[in-house]
Amino acid sequence: MTSADMDYLTIALPKGKLFAPSVDLLSKIGVSANDVHEKSRKLVISNEEKKVRFIITKTGDLPTYVEYGAADIGIIGKDVLLEESKDVYELLDLKFGLCRLMVAVPQALKKDKISDYAHMRVATKYPNVAERFFREMGIQMEIIKLNGSIELAPMVGLAEIIVDIVETGRTLKENQLLEIAQIHKATARFIANRVSMKMKFDRIHGIVEDLKCLLESEDKQ
């Protein structure tokens, strides 16, 4: 970490549904910069007055940027943290972007207990989460990694089961899928690089405390 790096606080923001609420939350505590928007062509967006830099990353890459110190802090979903298992500090539950990681099957395939699904194929964007879940349940499964349209897998015979993130469950119902187990609830989390947490403790701690106060005040409204 150079002396120039020490002057700035670099914040990683995720593309997608968490981007706008993340920007809004940070701006409410005075952490902002001009032209911070998801479609920005700038790779690094700076606020020279406040010595803050923003980088906008793909969701799955964000914990890596923070783990290796390319970003000091970041905001990312708990589902991504569970999947990536990066060595970062998880400092605060920001309480927005609520979803749940769950297991679902076609309605016609519903069985009495989860162990009855042993040795079936599981399609998911979260292979590490899925593997850990079924291992802890004492069930051996074949995990198939997909990057999108997970609900399609049972429809075309690629897999019997899916593990995916859901908000309302509407997409499951539309595709005749039934949730049979919840793995974990997921909300946006505020994370920090371990070295940055020591070297820039005052600034990062200040942001955490400001966010806590803001979240508490919003809860009371």
Residues 6+ apart with CB under 8 A from 193: 66, 67, 68, 69, 71, 72, 73, 88, 89
- 119 with 34, same domain: the answer is no
- 199 with 176, same domain: the answer is no
Model confidence, pTM = 0.90
- 77 with 123, same domain: the answer is no
- 64 with 112, same domain: the answer is no
- 54 with 73, same domain: the answer is yes
Residue 1: the pLDDT is 54
Pull the structure tokens for residue 93: 């539950």
Count the alpha carbons within 13 Å of 210 in the hemisphere toward its beta carbon: 13
- 59 with 136, same domain: the answer is no
Q: What is the pLDDT of residues 35-69, one digit of tens each?
A: 788 777 778 889 999 999 999 999 999 999 999 99
- 31 with 64, same domain: the answer is yes
Give the domain CATH number at 47. 3.40.190.10
- 13 with 87, same domain: the answer is yes
Q: Which domain holds residue 60?
A: 3-97+187-220
Residue 2: the pLDDT is 56
Pull the structure tokens for residue 7: 């002057």
- 93 with 103, same domain: the answer is no
- 191 with 162, same domain: the answer is no
Collect the ranges in the chain with pLDDT lower than 50. none
Domain count, the chain: 2
Q: Angle CA(132)–CA(65)–CA(30) in degrees, nearest 5?
A: 115
